[in-house]
Amino acid sequence: MKIPETAQKQTEDIAIGSGYMYIKEYEKGSAIPKISEIAIEENRKGYLSGGASIYYTPTIDTYKDDMEEITRKILSGEDIGIKGSIGTFMPDTFGIMAPNSEISTDSTDSSSNIYIGGIKNFKDKYYAVVFAAADESMSAMIIGQLEGGFTLERKKDSMTVCDLDFKATEKLDSKGHKLLINWGVGAEVTAE
């Protein structure tokens, strides 16, 4: 039995799998970088465990008259971000996870000393964050901040992970967009 061409195409259109998270400090007000400028090896701060999520949640307020004859809806807020659990990470990742951290190298054994905390030590940092699927089917970028802190758990028989939840705070263009998704799943690919 010959499989119809459309059925073959539908199978190819399924997005599967995890990928990589890239994080680079962003200077507020500077030019918006391209995804390809962020998704490079030096900006990979660890490897994901459990994948990543790209999310968009609108807050819509609805106003109605008493007889419900006139209705008006207003978009009053948006929650946009990229989150993932990093399973392997370098000491400098703590500088991203805690905006009031200081990292130094111990000269006696080359280990890292990571100091975290202190209200006076807070640094208001922004990051360009990219998730790129391993199969190159999609990528997503925001510019924002990590506001939720972190929890580092060491458990028997499980990988140590840190959950990172970056909230989009900066506009990516003059129209006010805060999330860019480059979607290649189902795209027609032509051979050159």
* pLDDT tens figures, 9-43: 555 566 667 899 999 999 999 999 999 999 999 99
Q: SS3 of 65, please?
A: coil
Domain boundaries of the chain, sorted by first residue: 18-183
Q: Which architecture does CATH list for 18-183?
A: Roll (2.30)
List the chain residues with pLDDT less than 70. 1-16, 185-192
Predicted local distance difference test score (pLDDT) of residue 75? 94
Supply the pLDDT for residue 156.
Answer: 84
Please answer whether residues 112 and 101 qualify as being in contact, where contact means their C-beta atoms are separated by less than 8 angstroms. Answer: no
The pTM score is 0.81
What is the enclosing helix (H) or strand (E) of 85? strand 71-89
CB 141 within 8 A of CB 130: yes
Q: Which residues pair with 96 in a beta bridge?
A: none
